[in-house]
Amino acid sequence: IHRNIAAKIAGPSIPPGRIFGSGTCLDSSRLRSLIGRTLDISGQSVHGYIIGEHGDSSVPVWSSVRIGGVPFVDPVEGPSAVHRAMHRDVVKSGLEVIKRKGYTNWSIGLANAYIAEIVLNDGRSVVPLSTCVRGIHDIEKDVFLSYPCLLGANGVRRLLCIPLTKDEEEGFLKSADTVWDIQKGIWDEV
């Protein structure tokens, strides 16, 4: 919501894509690492994203998770209870770290350093970032949600419209509604 308000205040003087947030970059990394540990392979060999809100309404895009190009989840069967438990573990992992250490600054610091490196070096990498998703999967409101973005020196160059299953799309739209319900109370005040 902070990024959306910043973009609204900045108005047309700041090009679209220049204001963005880390979104689910860390969540996606944690999911890939968890899948890698579970399968005893490097998390760098796991490709996939969590989209939507960073938090309880986030959506793991199981249909796009690949390990060496091979789908992680059977497209006919869809995600199992084990997959859903993995996502719950990722969502709760930040709270677990806070419970143990009292803070979570290292992980988000590393994620932001990764994002900054891409911007500074015009890395043109695909990263799930919080950006305006109006028009994506029929979202009509001005909400910022995490979605796979091509990131470079000028910020978000474009969003990569990934195919979603019906359940994933419903989850993404629900995440948009969740964020909008919080945001709408202050949107007209800005």
Residue 137 known to be catalytic: no
SS (H, E, C) 57-113: CCEECHHHCEECCEECCCCCCCCCHHHHHHHHHHHHHHHHHHHHHCCCHHHHHHHHH
144-152, strands of its sheet edge to edge: 125-132, 144-152, 155-159
Distance CA 169, CA 31 (A): 19
Instruction: Single out the catalytic residue among 2, 54, 87, 137.
Output: 54
Three-state DSSP at 148 gives: strand
Task: Confirm if 104 and 97 have CB atoms less than 8 A apart.
Answer: yes
Query: Which residues form the catalytic set?
Result: 54
